[in-house]
């Protein structure tokens, strides 16, 4: 008898995650079968659950942040995307987006994350030919041509962070990098915000200001490189937060860069108001539609000569750079994963991340939840 795989299938918007079982196919040439070790629950997964991403079809096996062990290799799969030899039993992290390499965005503009023919693990409907295409399953069929992946010796609960943290790397790259000796503000202290803090400091920022909460996240922000902490639960007035931010900059001019990672629309005009004239604003918090916000083009963009950058996802090079950074383990990245849950508790993970009043395992401060599809169902 062949391999069988349990998978958590979301049946619709705000629906149920139904545990179903599928036969795992033998990989064809150029394919492989991954035995999932961990799959992170992303803020985007949360918004997909609530129907905020209009390109999603249901039912779906979500989970685009995942790592695991190569279970079976198809013919011709001999090395990873860095040219390192691979074999069955190796741990790898997977780049979820797979671009075609032939469309206008891939070939002419060189923006593969905007590929017209994009396939992405964790974002396709759970039906043929996409069965077992998301990380919230025991096995993932790595089937799309040009799938990129990287071999790693990192522990799996750290390796699973590669994809979310790569968003920060792409954002900094698109903004032209972090100016050496600069002041950077990061709005939001979730997983991506904490990654932005770590990488801003590693990129040469002299001062990093974290604006977020609750306290546990701010304490971790400090360990990852934040020099100044502003707790939004204690400083509730946006104007006071603006005053505090500017007071930490030379001449009260404002920071050189602001990185928005909160996912709350109201954070955008507030963050733009922090900037010094000519400063850079990097938007990383709105990969789904959670509503509009009011921006005054004169004051927020033109009057302060704002340099605004947004990215969509990340690509192979950003995953490779991120993995190279976290493999050095210079910072306590392992502390980002605060909860490890089985497949049948994904809905609880989503509630813990999205509803302030919900206590996941009695804790109010969830940073990153990793799903272990082999953990005994509870």
The tens digit of pLDDT for each residue in 234-266 reads 999 999 999 999 999 999 999 999 999 999 999
Assess whether 54 and 110 both reside in one domain. Answer: yes
Whole-number Å distance between alpha carbons of 310 and 133: 27
Whole-number Å distance between alpha carbons of 295 and 244: 21
Q: Is residue 9 part of a domain?
A: yes
Q: How confident is the model at residue 378 (pLDDT cuts 50, 70, 90)?
A: confident
Whole-number Å distance between alpha carbons of 1 and 63: 27
Q: Are 68 and 156 in contact (CB under 8 A)?
A: yes
User: pTM here?
Assistant: 0.94
Q: Is residue 80 part of a domain?
A: yes
pLDDT(372) > 60: yes
Nearest to 367 by CA among 164, 226, 203, 201: 164
pLDDT(212) > 90: yes
**Mean pLDDT for the stretch of residues 49-76:** 96
Nearest to 101 by CA among 80, 124, 119: 119
**Mean pLDDT for the stretch of residues 53-67:** 95
Point out the domain boundary residue: 276, 310, 344. Answer: 310
Assess whether 293 and 334 both reside in one domain. Answer: no
Kindly report, residue by residue over 260-311, the tens digit of the pLDDT: 999 999 999 999 999 999 999 999 999 989 899 999 999 999 999 999 999 9
Q: For residue 123, give its domain range.
A: 4-154+327-371
Between 165-179, 207-221, 292-306, 350-364, the lowest mean confidence (pLDDT) is in: 350-364
Assess whether 139 and 249 both reside in one domain. Answer: no
Element housing 348 (H / E): helix 346-354
Kindly report, residue by residue over 105-158, the tens digit of the pLDDT: 999 999 999 999 999 999 999 999 999 999 999 999 999 999 999 999 999 999
What's the CATH code of the domain at 76? Answer: 3.90.180.10
Q: Are 180 and 204 in contact (CB under 8 A)?
A: yes
pLDDT(56) > 70: yes
**Mean pLDDT for the stretch of residues 7-15:** 97
Q: Is residue 212 part of a domain?
A: yes
Q: Is residue 126 part of a domain?
A: yes
**Mean pLDDT for the stretch of residues 50-72:** 96
pLDDT(357) > 80: no
pLDDT(362) > 80: no
Assess whether 145 and 171 both reside in one domain. Answer: no
Q: Is residue 376 part of a domain?
A: no
Model pLDDT, residue 358: 79
pLDDT(354) > 90: no
pLDDT, the chain, mean: 95
Q: Are 311 and 174 in contact (CB under 8 A)?
A: yes
Whole-number Å distance between alpha carbons of 93 and 282: 26
Model pLDDT, residue 355: 82
Assess whether 292 and 256 both reside in one domain. Answer: yes
């Amino acid at each position: 008898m062949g391999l069988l795989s349990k998978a958590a299938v979301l049946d619709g918007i705000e629906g149920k995650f139904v545990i179903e079982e599928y036969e795992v196919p033998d990989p064809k040439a150029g394919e492989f079968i991954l035995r999932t070790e961990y799959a992170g629950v992303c803020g985007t997964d949360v918004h997909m659950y609530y129907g905020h991403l209009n390109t999603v079809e249901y039912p779906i096996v979500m989970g685009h942040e995942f790592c695991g062990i190569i279970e079976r290799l198809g013919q011709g799969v001999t090395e990873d995307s860095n040219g390192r030899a691979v074999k069955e039993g190796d741990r790898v992290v997977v780049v979820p987006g797979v671009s075609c390499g032939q469309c206008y965005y891939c070939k002419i503009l060189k923006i593969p994350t905007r590929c017209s023919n994009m396939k992405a693990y964790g974002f396709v409907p759970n039906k043929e030919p996409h069965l077992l295409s998301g990380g919230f399953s025991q096995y993932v069929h790595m089937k799309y041509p040009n799938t990129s992946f990287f071999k790693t010796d990192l522990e799996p609960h750290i390796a699973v962070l590669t994809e979310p943290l790569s968003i920060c790397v792409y954002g900094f790259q698109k903004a032209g990098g972090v100016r050496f000796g600069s002041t950077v503000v990061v709005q939001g202290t979730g997983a991506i915000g904490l990654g932005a803090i770590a990488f801003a400091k590693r990129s040469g920022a002299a001062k990093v200001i974290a604006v977020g909460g609750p306290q546990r996240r701010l304490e971790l922000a400090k360990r990852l490189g934040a020099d100044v902490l502003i707790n939004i639960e204690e400083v509730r007035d946006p104007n006071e937060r603006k005053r505090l931010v500017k007071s930490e900059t030379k001449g009260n001019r404002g920071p050189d860069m602001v990185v928005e990672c909160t996912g709350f629309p109201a954070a955008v005009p507030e963050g733009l108001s922090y900037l010094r004239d000519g400063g850079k604003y990097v938007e990383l918090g709105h990969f789904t539609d959670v509503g509009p916000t009011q921006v005054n083009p004169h004051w927020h963009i033109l009057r302060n000569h704002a340099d605004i950058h947004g990215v969509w996802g990340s690509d192979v090079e950003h995953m490779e750079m991120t993995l190279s950074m976290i493999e050095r383990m210079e910072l306590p990245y392992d502390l980002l994963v605060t909860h490890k849950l089985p497949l049948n508790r994904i809905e609880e993970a989503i509630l813990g991340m999205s509803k302030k009043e919900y206590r996941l395992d009695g804790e109010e401060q969830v940073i990153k939840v990793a799903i272990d599809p082999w953990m005994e169902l509870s």
